[in-house]
Amino acid sequence: MTIHKEGYRILLVAILTWFVLNFGLFYLIPDWVIVRGLIALGTLVFFLLILQFFRSPSRIQTFGENLIIAPADGKVVVIEETMENEYFKDKRIQISIFMSPLNVHINRYPVGGTVVYEKYHPGLFLVAWEPKSSTDNERTTVVIQKENKVEVLMKQIAGAVARRIICYSKKGDKATQCGEMGFIKFGSRVDVLLPLGTKINVELNQTVKGGVTIIGTF
């Protein structure tokens, strides 16, 4: 397992903070051994939590021209027909995946093709499982057009804790299925909007793995 590049700066700050805090306490309260030990243990646990959050595990990914692959790790919280008003302006099938702070937070392209639309929307920070988070929260919308002209829309949505969306996609970019398209720090949600008639291969509350689990087929 490796550490994702988005975590380098935060982990460096966390390491420096750990050393400064614990060595500072050693000189300030040298006789409070138990207190210093508890603080050292607590800050170490906090560092390890940050470390696991930015992990980038090695996986055998799933590929297929007619397959739609999970864009993120997490739990399926929405499978429904909905009206998409930003890009398609018609009805689509929405699959939403909620990522807890314990999940891997790399976001991946569910299909291969070309990025034909990308837009950042400032907004609120409602909890990510709130239905209105799809339209009211801070988010980035990306549309991938496959070679056969079928288009898939993907949203990175910030939550109550996650307040930093990172999107690598730009209009005109080549999208490689399962390739990295972004990262959301500290918990969030990803929506995928698919054409009506798409066969859905997941169920509500199912746990999925980004780049591995097949969530639908054309």
Sheet (strand 214-217) strand order? 67-69, 214-217, 199-200
Return the closest-CA partner of residue 76 out of 205, 217, 215, 216: 205
Can you give 165-204 as a three-state secondary structure string?
A: EEECCCCCCEECCCCEEEEECCCEEEEEEECCCCEECCCC
Residue 216's contacts (CB-CB under 8 Å, 6 or more residues apart) are 67, 68, 93, 95, 194, 198, 199, 200, 201, 202
Is residue 188 among the annotated active site residues?
A: yes
CA 182 – CA 216 distance, rounded (Å): 21
CA 97 – CA 201 distance, rounded (Å): 14
Q: What is the 8-class DSSP label of residue 83?
A: E
Which one is catalytic: 96, 134, 169, 188?
Answer: 188
DSSP letters of 92-124? Answer: EEEEEEEE-TTS--EEE-SS-EEEEEEEEE--B
CA 32 – CA 47 distance, rounded (Å): 22
| Catalytic residue IDs | 188
